[in-house]
Structure 1
Amino acid sequence: MSLLRSGLFVAVLVTLYYLAPLDRPLDLGTWIGFVLGLLVFGATIAWQVRAILGSNVPRLRAIQAFAVGLTLLLLLFASTYIVIAHSASDSFSEPLSRTDALYFTVTVFATVGFGDIVPRTEVARIVTMIQMIMGLVALGLVAKVLLGAAQEAVQRRGAGPAAEPGFTGSPENPGSAR
């Protein structure tokens, strides 16, 4: 049920991305919104860590938190790329639709970099560099914090990993199936 709820939340976020009015100019308000979005991402991760620590299924909760947090981060950057492309059509090597912006965001995050869409202006390149750094932070630090919170919650309960509902491994070899 909780995986379904996470999937639904991700679907709602993506739907909001496609419906949001992003055809505004690139101005101070845009940058304030971008910084606020990054702060919301950080607050979401902090809130999720607290929820993981109090959860009956902390590992599952950590996976859900990562999925929702990653979606928030990717959509924040895709939205910013759309605003940049709308304000200056030469910012990228081709015009960006919302799907193109999301595709570009995912290829940057995954460090694939096909080269079919390339940032051309200084502003677009700066935001892309920020995304690269945030992607590394998200994969490294955030994953470590979320999984560490899940591990701490399991240990705090005084039970081994096998006591967690939905766990399919053995205490001796947690990754193996029973």
Structure 2
Amino acid sequence: MRRLRKDSPWWTVITTLGSLAACLLLFYGVPLGDGGREWEQILFFVIGFVGLCYLVTFQVRRQLRAGREPSVRVQSVVGLLSPIIIFFAIAYYLLAVHSEAEFVGIETRTDALYFTVVTLGTVGFGDIHPVGQAARVVTMVQILFDLAVIGILVAVATQRLESRARWREEHGEPDEDDGPASGPHER
């Protein structure tokens, strides 16, 4: 049986789907209780947010150090979206469970996940919306964090593409999209 190489596109698909599945399993599988006391929610949010910031920083540094190394792909940064979405969905769910006055429309974990994705996509259908101060603060933090992460993703992807193009220019390697080189053997 052939082993799947880490620089294979299939490896990227499998690891990204595995990360998504693990995050969803965590989100739907771990008992979250009644939301806890207010200080517990704040502590959870602060620790989780610091953890997400560390994860983003770690991946961005890894990308910037990688240069042209094929085993480090931009998709590893894109894979950060799953934990970010799950983190904010848990925060919204706990807020909604703790106080019905925080959100209009969040009654289940799926509602919280839906609201998180809609907020990330800046769609805002209006069917679920924050009404309490804590919910509004968490939503603003998510929006700012999402904008920062998306900006970082674009910057890292651009830097990696520029680095790859410079390397090809310096080493005379053709682009993978150029197809076979035309030469004197053409008919």
* TM-score of the two chains, using structure 1 as the length reference: 0.78
Q: How does 1:26-41 map to 2 (within 5 A)?
A: 26-41=37-52
Aligned-partner Cα distance in 2 for 1:42–1:163: 37
Moved over 4 A (4+): none
8 Å CA contact 1:92–1:117 kept in 2: the answer is yes
Q: Paired residue for 2:107?
A: 96
Aligned-partner Cα distance in 2 for 1:148–1:42: 21
Q: Paired residue for 2:184?
A: none
How far did 1:163 drift? 5.5
Q: Paired residue for 1:127?
A: 138
Aligned-partner Cα distance in 2 for 1:2–1:25: 38
Aligned-partner Cα distance in 1 for 2:105–2:54: 34
Q: How does 1:142-153 map to 2 (within 5 A)?
A: 142-148=152-158, 150-151=160-161
Q: Secondary structure at the match of 2:69?
A: coil
How far did 1:137 drift? 1.1
Q: Which runs of 5+ in 2 are unaligned?
A: 1-10, 180-187
Q: How does 1:1-178 map to 2 (within 5 A)?
A: 1-23=11-33, 24-52=35-63, 53-54=65-66, 56-57=69-70, 61-66=73-78, 68-140=79-151, 142-148=152-158, 150-151=160-161, 154=164, 158-160=167-169, 168-170=176-178
What is the aligned length? 164
Aligned residue type for 1:159: R
Aligned-partner Cα distance in 1 for 2:47–2:177: 41
C-alpha distance 163-11 of structure 1, shift in aligned 2 (>3 A): farther
How large is the RMSD of aligned CA atoms in angstroms?
A: 2.7
The higher radius of gyration belongs to 2
Aligned-partner Cα distance in 2 for 1:137–1:146: 12
* TM-score of the two chains, using structure 2 as the length reference: 0.75
Report % sequence identity.
27
Summarize deviations over 1:11-33 as a string: whole Å, max 9, x none.
10111011122223242222122
